[in-house]
Amino acid sequence: MKETIQLTSLEPSDDLAPFVESFWMIENPSDEDEELSTFPDGGIDLYFFHNDQYPLHISLVGLETDAKLGSMPKHSILLGVRLKILAAEYLLNTPVADIINKHITLDKGFGGIEQNDLQDFKVFCDKLSLYFSSLLNAPIDPRKRIMSELIYYANGDITVTEIAKKANWSSRQINRYFNKWLGLPLKSYCDILRFRHSFDSLKAGELFPKEGFNDQSHYIKLIKKYSSLTPKQLAQNENDRFVQLYSQD
């Protein structure tokens, strides 16, 4: 990775693991803006941003289905929380179906986070963890827990029929849940997870993963759908701008 861009991540506590994938921080301490590309990864993200010129800005980013080119401003810090599918219902208590490939600005003070909290990653994580834990008053519907666990354990390589059978929840109800809370059907979400899981193979220089795809043609088609690049182009990571390839460690 570029020496100027610094990436840090932390896993959540066990009680938050069904809802939070990770806390993360990206810093650009240099005197120049840095170009970064991001790809769909199946996460719903909370962004907490500030730099020398702008005060704390908090936003909620819905699921993404397209690659995006952005810029990390000089002397800036971006902290975030990557949320899992159940977080929309149990932590945010609001659907994110209307913000696919979009974001909304949240009120200052969300989660009790203040600008000074962004200077200490552990303080940021601990403060948000306490806030999220305080929201977990209702037990998780066991069907939804099983559904979520199966999807993430399989890295998306699982059918709606398999999930429906093991979770004792009909395929129709599962897709209705996904469309209501997330804005896309389960199969589309699983495709995004399989795309993301392929990053591990790409980092290792393998242009075709050992599992998750029917054949190489199917794999290349999915990679190009979500990145607009071939597996070879992704693996080369020109200019080290594909930050998510590093965030899988």
Q: Is residue 99 one of the residues assigned to a domain?
A: yes
- Tell whether 156 and 41 lie within a shared domain: no
Token output for 169: 């929840």
- Amino acid, single-letter form, for residue 152: Y
Q: Is residue 51 one of the residues assigned to a domain?
A: yes
Q: Is residue 109 one of the residues assigned to a domain?
A: yes
The angle that helices 142-153 and 160-167 make with each other, rounded to 10 degrees, is: 140
- Tell whether 11 and 129 lie within a shared domain: yes
Q: Is residue 1 one of the residues assigned to a domain?
A: no
pLDDT score of 233? 80
CATH code (residue 188) = 1.10.10.60
Rg (CA), the chain: 18
- Tell whether 120 and 24 lie within a shared domain: yes
- Tell whether 66 and 169 lie within a shared domain: no
Domain count, the chain: 2
Q: Is residue 70 one of the residues assigned to a domain?
A: yes
Q: Is residue 203 one of the residues assigned to a domain?
A: yes
pLDDT score of 186? 95
pLDDT score of 210? 64
pLDDT score of 3? 53
- Domain finish residue from 102, 135, 168: 135
- 33 near 73, Cβ under 8 Å? yes
Could you please report the per-residue DSSP string of 82-98? Answer: EE-TTHIIIII-S--GG
- Tell whether 13 and 68 lie within a shared domain: yes
Could you please report the per-residue DSSP string of 13-77? Answer: PTTTTTTEEEEEEEEE-SSS-EEEEE---S-EEEEEEEESSS--EEEEE----S-EEEEE-TTEE
Q: Which of 67, 36, 43, 86 is nearest to 193 (CA)?
A: 43
- 18 near 148, Cβ under 8 Å? yes
- Tell whether 22 and 117 lie within a shared domain: yes
- Domain finish residue from 135, 164, 198: 135
pLDDT score of 248? 45
pLDDT score of 201? 76
Low pLDDT (below 70) residues in the chain: 1-3, 209-212, 237-249
Q: How far apart are CA 46 and CA 38, in angstroms?
A: 15
- Tell whether 131 and 164 lie within a shared domain: no
pLDDT score of 2? 47
CA-based max dimension of the chain = 55
Q: Is residue 40 one of the residues assigned to a domain?
A: yes
Q: Is residue 74 one of the residues assigned to a domain?
A: yes
- Tell whether 116 and 167 lie within a shared domain: no
CATH code (residue 34) = 2.60.40
pLDDT score of 240? 52
- Domain finish residue from 108, 135, 162: 135
Structural domain of 208? 142-245
**Region label for 224, one of left (φ > 0), alpha (ψ between -120 and 50) or beta (otherwise):** alpha
pLDDT score of 227? 86
- Tell whether 46 and 149 lie within a shared domain: no
- Tell whether 163 and 130 lie within a shared domain: no
- Tell whether 65 and 167 lie within a shared domain: no
Q: How far apart are CA 230 and CA 216, in angstroms?
A: 12
The CA-CA-CA angle for residues 88, 243, 65, to 5°, reads: 45
- Tell whether 148 and 118 lie within a shared domain: no
Predicted structure pTM score: 0.89
